[in-house]
Structure 1
Amino acid sequence: MTATLLIATLDVLGTFAFGLSGALVAVRRKLDLFGIVVLAVATGVAGGMVRDILLGDTPPAALRTLTPLGVAAGAGLCVFFLGPVINRLRRPVMVLDALGLGVFCVAGCHKALEFGLAIPGAVLLGVMTAVGGGMLRDMLAAEVPRVLHEEVYALAALAGALTYAVALRSGMPAIPATVVAALLAVALRLASVRFGWRLPRAPWG
């Protein structure tokens, strides 16, 4: 498997994982089938669309091909029909969100580097790709976005994107760099929930 194929595969998996998380939130908010699919699609493609617009890659990839929209909508339908099976996972929204976060921070950083951005800009776009869909999902569901208040979230995406960019520039082959960076972001996110890691908050708040 080439690095390009691996990134493309991860992009599809991330879209599906985020789509599932968006659909599960929609079910929790008691939305109908249309609302479930809308929230799934918004969560699955929003981060990538923001990335593409900022890179000048327009129209965004999600609008040039049916694949991202179809994958995200399919995730919504899976939740509608198979929700009880998915809900057997412990905290399914958090787990799926972590998977999407890890995949998209690398995919976003990869595309930004391909467009010639320096490491800081590429890492920033990797983070925006990873957190954009979740932010839109939470706002549409009338919730405070997780990136603003939950345990290590954007920081996990930052660690994954930075690891990927630095690993590539240090000469590590693309496939190992992709796997290591994505797993690091997922592990940090899951560990932060498991052990209650939090960033400092204002002591007077």
Structure 2
Amino acid sequence: MLAQFVYFSDLLGCIVFAISGVLVAGRLKMDPIGVVVLASVTAIGGGTIRDMAIGATPVFWINDTTYLYVIFATALISMLTARKAHRLPSFLLPVLDAFGLALFTVIGAEKVLSYELPSVVAIVMGVITGVAGGMIRDVLAGQIPFVLQKEIYATASILGGVLYTVSLSLGLDDGWALGIAMAGTLGLRLAALRWHLSLPVFNLRR
């Protein structure tokens, strides 16, 4: 039951991140190929880097092509309905994105631990799973990656990875550890959105 929840939630996370890629491509007036590329790298870029780094090959979307079909369908539907997106509540996508970040972080950390790698590696790979796709998207779009700016985004992912690994080390079962880690990541990210929390910036100018 837990495995099914995680799997379908992972697909939901791919949908949300793919939509964010489509929106960036739309603002830059890319052609359909560019839209699909940005949607794809945003949705599966982080997980691909994770799998390659830990030797989990073929990477997850090659073993399960459902991810690709979901991304392609999301890109197509998003292109057809993008002009109606203003009718959706403005908070919906950021909230879903926060949920996707929380889930991707935990899934990334869990997969690394299943390869019996150290907890610190699991935390780092969890963060990469959650944020690297968006970084690739922004680089391809010629923008400073969102995660490298003052927004509390990667910080929330780091918190999730730490909570997950610590919970497991304390003997909690995987379901509780997953729930605690997701709640921590989601809570911090939503709090940052609600109260406009941010990290201090490094500035050499006087």
Residue in 2 aligned with 1:123?
123
Runs of 4+ in 1 over 6 A off after TM superposition: none
CA shift at 1:183, angstroms? Answer: 2.8
Greater CA deviation, 121-130 or 169-178?
169-178
Greater CA deviation, 86-95 or 62-71?
86-95
Any gaps of 5 or more consecutive residues in structure 1? none
Q: Distance in 2 between matches of 1:8 and 1:118?
A: 24
Residue in 2 aligned with 1:35?
34
Residue in 2 aligned with 1:22?
21
Any gaps of 5 or more consecutive residues in structure 2? none
TM-score (norm 2): 0.90
- Is it true that 1:185 corresponds to 2:185 in the alignment? yes
Q: Distance in 1 between matches of 2:21 and 2:54?
A: 25
Greater CA deviation, 94-103 or 160-169?
94-103
* Aligned pairs, number: 204
SS at structure 2 position matched to 1:30: coil
Q: Distance in 2 between matches of 1:179 and 1:76?
A: 30
Residue in 2 aligned with 1:141?
141
Partners of 2:104 and 2:126 within 8 A in 1: yes
CA shift at 1:93, angstroms? Answer: 5.2
CA shift at 1:187, angstroms? Answer: 2.3
- Is it true that 1:166 corresponds to 2:166 in the alignment? yes
Residue in 1 aligned with 2:201?
201
Structure 2 vs 1, CA of residues 137 and 94 (structure 1 numbering), >3 Å: closer, same or farther?
A: farther
Residue in 2 aligned with 1:76?
75
Percentage identity across aligned positions?
A: 37
Q: Distance in 2 between matches of 1:35 and 1:202?
A: 33
RMSD: 1.8
Q: Distance in 1 between matches of 2:51 and 2:102?
A: 18
Residue in 2 aligned with 1:56?
55
